[in-house]
Amino acid sequence: MAAVFREKTEMAPDAHADVPPLKGRRVAFLGKLGGVTRREAQQLVRQQGGTPVEKPAQDADLIVIGADELPLSDAEDLLGEPIRQAAAEGRIEIIGETQLWQRLGLMESESNVRRLYTPAMLADLLQVSVATIRRWHRRGLIVPAREVRRLPYFDFQEVATARRLAQLLGAGVSPAAIEKKLAELSRFVPEVERPLAQLSVIVEGRQLLLRQGEGLIEPGGQMRFDFEAFEEPPAAAKADGRGGQTLSFEQYLAEQTPPPTKEELLETAAQLEDESRLEEAAEMYRVVLTAGGPNPEVCFQLAELLYRLDDLAGARERYYMAIELDENYVEARANLGCVLAELGQSELAISAFQGALKYHRGFPDVHFHLARTLDELGRRDEAEVHWREFLDLAPDSPWAQEAENRIGGV
């Protein structure tokens, strides 16, 4: 079935450069769209010269599969036999939603960030912590569609992947267990780098099921994984039968032969964070900075941890340090503004937000927080400018309703 789909990422060149990319195409959408409503998608089709149709089997020559549906190669039930036959004969082209936005140029320019999610938006959408989103990002479980000055933006496909991860976390599966089982899945399909995103992996309670063909199978039979068998005690608890004893970092470093690399220290810090041992994780990040010297990304991660530990003053200083090391670090500037606002330093917070916008005008989160801060100071007219700019950039954000209420005076 996979051979039926055309994996082209660009339209054939037109004779005229200004011809809309969908001119003359009859476009139908199947399944749930990932980041826009069906009406908005149809409006975009019209703007690009195409015609939206509701009966794909009879009327369409381009069918778009929603980003929240199965991967293209597993979409037989969604498509139906007439469409599959038409695709095999070349009468219909079938692509994914993300491919459509790429063709239309909606995922390339900074002015179209509205189609993507920042880490904070994705966290709010899935009801998980921003730290969790960042951890998935660092470990490669979700991959940004683009980055602007160290700020990752995630597209619709990654939202679907993140939802599956959130399901597993909600069922009580540890991050380490998730990664271990995904690594195990990769051994069955070595050509696939990211099975959760690229394969039809179904989450069922605490299990991962890999769909192959018409069943949930592997060469040796049905593929069902029980995470309970793979849960492991914290690393410190396993070593030498110490139980719950915690090593000092001097002991930890002394026992490593040869001395741990920076990458190994960062991995240990991430594991401690996964186990909610936040103070120890923060101390390990300090060890990384001591051993490897100043680093903006490590300073940022340490600031995030200090904020979660309610050490706002410490977080503030680490955000400042990250910016001193990399003035383009817009997410550090944005988070610094949020911390300053919580500390009651509103004017400094406004300056931090304005500094972030100087480097990345299209950062929706900053417009949101700047508008809120201005509102709280009674500067309604200035706030409204940023509320509106936020809604223009991120109309489908989980925060959009608050912005609309603020503009309406609710």
Print burial letters for 92-109: b (CB count within 10 Å at least 16), e (below 16): bbbbbbbbbbbbbebbee
In the predicted model, what is the mean pLDDT of the chain?
75
Token duo for residue 86: 């038409």
What average pLDDT does range 311-320 have in this prediction?
Answer: 96
The Cα 132–Cα 169 span in angstroms is 10
Instruction: Sort strands 207-210 and 201-204 into parallel, antiparallel or unpaired.
Output: antiparallel
The Cα 119–Cα 160 span in angstroms is 14
- 99-116 pLDDT, tens digit per residue, is 787 777 765 444 444 468
Count other Cβ atoms within 10 Å, centred on residue 228: 11
- Judge whether 115 and 155 are in contact, CB under 8 Å: yes
The predicted structure's pLDDT at residue 158: 81
Residues sharing a CB contact under 8 Å with residue 189, sequence separation 6 or more, in sequence order: 195, 199, 210
The predicted structure's pLDDT at residue 331: 94
- 341-376 pLDDT, tens digit per residue, is 999 999 999 999 999 999 999 899 999 999 999 999
> SS3 of 65, please?
strand
**pLDDT at residue 262 greater than cutoff 80:** yes
Residue with more model confidence, 35 or 167? 167
What φ, ψ does residue 52 adopt, rounded to 5°? -70, 140
Which amino acid would we find at residue 340?
Answer: L
**pLDDT at residue 11 greater than cutoff 60:** no
DSSP letter for 218, please.
E
Residue with more model confidence, 281 or 172? 281
Q: What angle do CA 77, 116, 348 make, to 5 degrees?
A: 155
Q: Which domains does the chain have, with CATH numbers?
A: 2-103 (3.40.50.10190), 113-230 (1.10.1660.10), 247-360 (1.25.40.10)
Least confidently predicted of 86-90, 290-294, 309-313, 334-338? 86-90
Cα end-to-end span (Å), the chain? 52
